[in-house]
Amino acid sequence: MGYQSIDKLQQTLAQTVFNYAKDSKKAAGRALGTLIEIITFYILKDWGLEGNTRIEKGLIEYRNSAISHNVEYTLHPLKQVVELEVPNQAPLTSTKIINALASSKKNSFDLKRFTKTSSVLYSNFNTIKNACVIARSNNSSLVAVIKEMKGGHIKIIITEQIEKPFAMAECKRVGVEEGNKKGPQTIEKAKQGAYVARSVSSLQKVRNVKGVVYGILPLANGTFRFEEYDKLLNEIITTDDKRVFQDFILTIGVVSNHGNWFTSDNPNKELVVLRDAYDWLLFLTDAGIATFIDELLLNPSKEYSEVKKAFLASYSGNSQLIKKYGKNQFTKAQMNKEADLLLQRYFRENRNKIADWINILTPVKKSLDDLRFQLNQLNKKDWN
């Protein structure tokens, strides 16, 4: 399935899936943005980080609690992890999970500290809520993740997440859309993302007179560390010294581009703005998005047909599919059960191919394996 640019792909979606919409091209563009978020989530899930993940949580600026920003994903340290088995009966609500947890011998949580939410982990419409928060306390939350659904039971992993994250990920589409000479909206989107990336972590970027990027790190005793950015970042990732890493947040951007004739060696202005702000900027190529859409959403093999059905139930406007499957079957926050299992399988079996979908704009000469290593190192630290 070949496309000259992401705009051609957007036109195809507009004509084949969103032809019912008043502005079919705009609807297709919104869907493309959702697909970037879903690809990002399933990469994190494949890396075993789903239990650490929260979706669209307000992220407070470093030492400035008056301002917070909703970001696609935050990754949080874990205080405790408990595995629980419950009956396979929908809806599986936070109330049912908390009650099962309270009566389980495996329970190690002090449930009196928590206030139960009204979430549904597994719905009557056969959907799974990703990163489902079932209870909250002042400084941590209980998050439920489905590990396995087999026979009459569901295995659930319940994690207690510390509220302050160790990493965040934002997804954006930027660039100049076909037919436009410039893209004022997308450069503003890029600037907004850059502002968030620069303001949430204790490690901050500055340049010297030669343009070399340095890091400045405030310490609890009122002093500062000041060294070349990459060197200081590497120390934060590897050290066990809480004074160094305690307020650090690794910032990750995942971007795609309108008509992206751009590469890691030839970025446009929007990508330069984002590259200079994030610790990691991952560029999802046209070929990568096109492959995902072709193999899973438009022309899947028989084994992946349920993914296509879930996608069409959410986006095609087909009343019969909506009636059968329900709305919102294919989003970052909520996913059809069969589609979820198949997406996990696809990302697990195609890791090398998916890695080729992504150009790393920053840091230079690094791979997705390096990012995964950094996230695992941060996750292992003692954040209590």
Distance CA 74, CA 166 (A): 8
Mean pLDDT of 56-82: 95
Q: Answer positive or negative: Cα dihedral of 135, 136, 139, 141.
A: positive
Per the model's pLDDT, the better-predicted residue between 173 and 121 turns out to be 121
Count of CB atoms situated within 10 Å of the CB of 1: 12
- Structure confidence at residue 27 (pLDDT): 81
Residue in 91, 150, 141 with CA at minimum distance from that of residue 121: 91
Lowest mean pLDDT among 17-26, 42-51, 326-335: 17-26
For the chain, the domains span: 78-162
What is the side-by-side order of every strand in the sheet holding 127-129? 92-93, 120-122, 127-129, 334-336
Say if residue 74's pLDDT is above 90. yes
Per the model's pLDDT, the better-predicted residue between 348 and 315 turns out to be 348
Distance CA 165, CA 75 (A): 5
| pLDDT, tens only, 205-246 | 999 999 999 999 999 888 999 999 999 999 999 999 999 999
Q: Is 333 exposed, middle or buried (0-12, 13-18, 19+ CB in 10 A)?
A: middle
Q: 17 CB contacts (<8 Å, ≥6 apart)?
A: 28, 31, 298, 312, 315, 316
- Structure confidence at residue 185 (pLDDT): 61
Q: Is 248 helix (H, G, I), strand (E, B) or coil?
A: coil
- Structure confidence at residue 301 (pLDDT): 96
**Tokens, residue 173:** 């589409």
Say if residue 371's pLDDT is above 80. yes
Distance CA 120, CA 133 (A): 9
Distance CA 366, CA 377 (A): 16
- Structure confidence at residue 210 (pLDDT): 93
- Whose tokens are 């009122």? That residue is 222
Which residues are registered as beta bridge partners of 156?
A: 84, 146
The rounded percent of the chain whose pLDDT value lies above 70 is 90
- Structure confidence at residue 23 (pLDDT): 80
| pLDDT, tens only, 78-97 | 999 999 999 999 999 999 99
| pLDDT, tens only, 9-39 | 788 888 888 887 778 877 888 888 899 999 9
Say if residue 323's pLDDT is above 70. no
Distance CA 49, CA 28 (A): 29
Confidence of residue 325 (pLDDT cuts 50, 70, 90): low
Does an H or E element contain 7, and which? helix 6-16
Mean pLDDT of 57-70: 93
Eight-class DSSP state of 330: B
Residue in 135, 136, 163, 159 with CA at minimum distance from that of residue 147: 159
| pLDDT, tens only, 282-299 | 999 888 998 999 999 989
The three-point CA angle 45-46-49 to 5° equals: 45
- Structure confidence at residue 21 (pLDDT): 78
Half-sphere exposure of 45 (CA within 13 A, CB side): 24
131 in the Ramachandran plot: left (φ > 0), alpha (ψ -120 to 50) or beta? left
Distance CA 381, CA 384 (A): 9
Lowest mean pLDDT among 48-57, 60-69, 169-178: 169-178
Mean pLDDT of 96-108: 93
Say if residue 183's pLDDT is above 60. no
Q: 185 CB contacts (<8 Å, ≥6 apart)?
A: none
Q: Which amino acid appears at position 248 of this protein?
A: F
Say if residue 179's pLDDT is above 60. no
- Structure confidence at residue 212 (pLDDT): 93
Residue in 261, 346, 332 with CA at minimum distance from that of residue 295: 346
The three-point CA angle 377-381-382 to 5° equals: 175
Per the model's pLDDT, the better-predicted residue between 337 and 316 turns out to be 337
